Amino acid sequence: MTALHDTTVRGFASDNYSGIHPEVLAAIAAANDGHQVAYGEDVYTTRLQEVFAGHFGDGVQAFPVFNGTGANVVGLQSMLPRWGAVVAASTAHINVDEGGAPERVGGIKLLTVPTDNGKLTPELIDREAWGWGDEHRAQPLVVSLTQSTELGTLYSVDELKAIADHIHGLGMHLHMDGARLSNAAASLGLPLRAFTRDVGVDVLSYGGTKNGAMLGEAVVVLNPEASAGLIFGRKLNMQLSSKMRFVSAQLIALLEGDLWLRNATHSNAMAARLRAGVAAGIADGSISGVAFTQETQANGVFATLPDGVADRLRESFRFYDWDAAKNEVRWMCSFDTTEADVDAFVAELARLTTA
């Protein structure tokens, strides 16, 4: 089959738009010959356990799944009784972007808290962390946070530890949506364990798709006491891959060496370049009416644009509105975003805002 799309078209809509990293494609091909036992009893999934243990420490368990929504639903389900609830930021992916799957598929009550920057604090969590023993209230037993957040911001190690210590003291457990965990590690300059297991995260959704994989995430149980029945819940929620070796091979390709970090470092650097280019244009007057709405700490840039500019800019570069009422947009960079892509985008933004 020949390519059906224009391979020269570039965009800043999502790191899901990018292709598969060549090293990941090679790993899929390498795993393809011959037969392997299905449903995770293959040598690649066994090796993946060792790879995750290398990053997060002995005793962790990794459960490969198809996608991030599946990872979140399966992981959270394993942490909760039927009467349990999850405290999360109102901007959390589980609340905004998963089509109601945590509620409708997972049967999970979400207790959401508004935030200015996508980050929870102990004080914000306490707005919903109450009512234990009240039979009329879903019991808040888990806090779910995202690293990096849906607004491109990062939790520091100290912030994460403060949250974990606080909620563990309340008898709750901590879930982390790590769809862009690699970007967070690259930005923080820390190993993955330093801001997950070591600070008290109990269950993690580890993301591969946004960082160069074709598909595939993993639910990583960092604290076995916080999770039960995950092996059954994965099947129940249609996240058990029969040919799991191909999901595992991708994650091995990312995590066995430094590909995960190289990809994330690059996408972060392109976001920093994009922000710097726009900021320079604002400073010298070549870009008009644009303002940033969040810090750029990973691979996303959030900004407001003058009326009508977003739609005209999208004629050349695809991206999404974040809050259309405020003319707020989100620009995402990927492992394959180039400096030329960024510079062309900034130049077109300058042309449209000063025309």
pLDDT score, position 13: 97
pLDDT digits (tens, 9 = 90+) for 330-342: 999 999 999 999 9
pTM equals 0.97
Q: What pLDDT is attached to residue 355? A: 73
Based on the domain organization, do 324 and 177 belong to the same domain?
Answer: no
Q: Say how far apart CA 177 and CA 79 lie, in whole Å.
A: 14
Long-range contacts of 311-319 (CB under 8 A, 24+ apart): 312/352, 313/348, 313/349, 313/352, 316/348, 317/10, 317/11, 317/12, 317/345, 317/348, 318/9, 318/11, 318/12, 318/13, 318/17, 319/11, 319/12, 319/13
Q: Which of 256, 287, 322 is the last residue of a domain?
A: 256
Same domain, residue pair 222 and 336: no
| Residue 25 domain-assigned (yes or no) | no
Q: Among positive and negative, which fits the CA dihedral 122, 124, 129, 130?
A: positive
Q: What sign results for the dihedral spanned by CA atoms 330, 212, 177, 68?
A: positive
Residues 63 and 132 in one domain: yes
Domain final position from 230, 256, 282: 256
133-184: pLDDT as tens digits: 999 999 999 999 999 999 999 999 999 999 999 999 999 999 999 999 999 9
Rounded mean pLDDT of 69-77?
98
Domain span at 158? 31-256
Q: Are residues 63 and 108 in the same domain?
A: yes
Amino acid at 15: D
Per-residue pLDDT, averaged over 248-261, amounts to 98
pLDDT tops 80 at residue 103: yes
Q: Are residues 300 and 170 in the same domain?
A: no
Query: What one-letter code names the amino acid at 45?
Result: T
Asked whether the bond before 148 is cis by omega within 30 degrees of 0, the reply is: yes
In a domain, 17, yes or no: no
Q: Residues 248, 275: one domain?
A: no
Same domain membership, residue 168 and residue 53: yes
Q: What is the token pair recorded at 64?
A: 């490969």
Residue type, 245: R
The domain boundary, picked from 233, 256, 279, lies at: 256
Query: Is residue 5 a part of any domain in this protein?
Result: no
305 with 342, same domain: the answer is yes
Residue 166: predicted pLDDT: 98
pLDDT, tens digit, 9 for 90 and up, residues 198-216: 999 999 999 999 999 999 9
Within-domain flag for 191:
yes
Does any domain span residue 21?
no
The verdict on 284 and 152 lying in the same domain is no
Partner residues linked to 319 by β-bridges: none
Same domain, 117 and 223: yes
Residue 338: what pLDDT? Answer: 97
Q: Do 248 and 302 fall within a single domain?
A: no
Looking at the fold, whether 86 and 164 belong to one and the same domain comes out as yes
Residues in the chain: 355
d(CA 174, CA 167): 8
pLDDT more than 90, % of the chain:
97
Instruction: For residues 72-79, give the mean pLDDT.
Output: 98
Number of domains present in the structure of the chain? 2
Q: What would the mean pLDDT of 49-74 be, rounded to a whole number?
A: 98
Percent of the chain with pLDDT over 70: 100
pLDDT digits (tens, 9 = 90+) for 281-332: 999 999 999 999 999 999 999 999 999 999 999 999 999 999 999 999 999 9
Q: What is the CATH number of the domain that holds 306?
A: 3.90.1150.10
Mean of all residue pLDDT scores within the chain = 97
Q: How far is the CA of 154 from the CAs of 282, 290, 296, in angstroms?
A: 25, 23, 9
Give mean pLDDT, residues 10-25.
96
